[in-house]
Amino acid sequence: MHPTLVLQAFGGLSPDTASAGVDSVEEDLYSVFNARAEMMGWSMTNSMTTTVDGRGRTTRSTVTPRPPYRLLWGMNEAELTPEAKGAQIGWVQVGLKDGIANPAVVLPPLVQCFDDALRRFGALELSSLQVVAFDLEPGHGTLEDGVADRGTPGENFFNLGSKSKVEAVVAFDQEMFGGHTVADMQYVGYDWQPVPVPDGDQIHWPADMRGTLTPSDLGLSVSLPEWTAGSVGRELALVIRATHDLAQDARNFAVRITRNG
C-alpha cells in the first residue's frame, strides 16, 4: 500500500459562501481541494478515455497523466465535519506518490492546499492542525529529502512580515520516538523547548482508522514567525525531520500543532 497522510483541521469555520465563492450545496471539500492541488501541480486525477477500433468496438480505459514535474500525492478522501466533536472542521486523506517516502516533503504544500480549500467555504479560524501518517516505508527517505533547515534564503519570505512571534505547542504520539523521548530530539538552533502537553491539545487517533497510537505527555513549545498555512506546514515538516533518526522504522505516527491562546 502507498504511504498515507490524513490532515485534520480544528477551530471554527463560519459559512460564507457568498464571499468565498463556493456554493456548499453544489461543491464539496473533496472537489475543491482536488482542484486546488491540480492547479498547483501537486496532484493530478486519473481520467477516462474512450477509443473505437476499426470494427466499431468501444474501449474505455484509465489514463494516468505524466506531467513534466513530480507529483506529490494522489487524492483519497476529504470531508467537511462542522458537527464533529472536538471542534474538528474537516479532514483530507492523500496517498503519497511513488518516490515520495518522507512526509516532510509533502506537508508544506499539503497544509497550504488544505487551508486554501477550507477558506473557499467561509471564514476560517484555525486553532490546531494534526497530521496522521500510516503505512510509511521503513526509513521514510533521507533527511535530504525533507524541508530545508532554519536560516535558509527561503525563510526571508517570513522575515518580510511582522517581527513578533506566535507561540504554539506540538504534541506527538509515542511511536514518533522509537522508545526515546522529546528530550532526545536533535534541535540545536531551533526555538523549541520540551513542555508538558496541555489537556485537550494531545493527539488523538481517529476511531475509523486502522490501529492505535499512544499520546505522549511531553511535547514541544515552538515559536513560529506567523500563524499561516505556510508557516505551520513548514514547522510540522521541521519537527518530523528532527525525529527522523529516532524512529526511522515507525510505520504510523501522529503530530499535532496548536496555537497558544
Predicted confidence band of residue 207 (pLDDT cuts 50, 70, 90):
low
231: containing domain = 4-44+60-259
Cα separation, 63 vs 74, in Å, equals 14
Cα separation, 108 vs 146, in Å, equals 10
**Is residue 9, in this structure, part of any structural domain at all?**
yes
Predicted confidence band of residue 47 (pLDDT cuts 50, 70, 90):
very low
Specify whether the CB–CB gap between 4 and 134 falls below 8 A. yes
**Is residue 69, in this structure, part of any structural domain at all?**
yes
Strand partners, 60: 50
Number of neighbours of residue 231 by Cβ within 10 angstroms: 20
Question: Lowest-confidence range among 26-35, 57-66, 82-91, 243-252?
Answer: 57-66
**Is residue 134, in this structure, part of any structural domain at all?**
yes
Predicted confidence band of residue 58 (pLDDT cuts 50, 70, 90):
low
pTM: 0.82
The runs of H, that is alpha helices, within 59-206 are: 103-119, 156-159
pLDDT at 143: 46
**Is residue 52, in this structure, part of any structural domain at all?**
no
Cα separation, 245 vs 141, in Å, equals 11
**Is residue 67, in this structure, part of any structural domain at all?**
yes
Q: Give me the residue label for grid cell 505527555.
A: 217
Cα separation, 76 vs 94, in Å, equals 5
**Is residue 55, in this structure, part of any structural domain at all?**
no
Is the predicted pLDDT of residue 98 greater than 50, yes or no? yes
**Tens digit of pLDDT for each residue in 160-193?**
556 678 999 999 888 777 777 777 776 655 667 8
CA 160 to chain centre: 25
pLDDT at 191: 67
**Is residue 51, in this structure, part of any structural domain at all?**
no
Higher pLDDT, 74 or 210: 74
Domain count, the chain: 1
- Average pLDDT of the chain? 78
Strand partners, 52: 58
Q: Give me the residue label for grid cell 500543532.
A: 257
First to last CA, the chain: 39
Cα separation, 119 vs 5, in Å, equals 21
**Is residue 49, in this structure, part of any structural domain at all?**
no
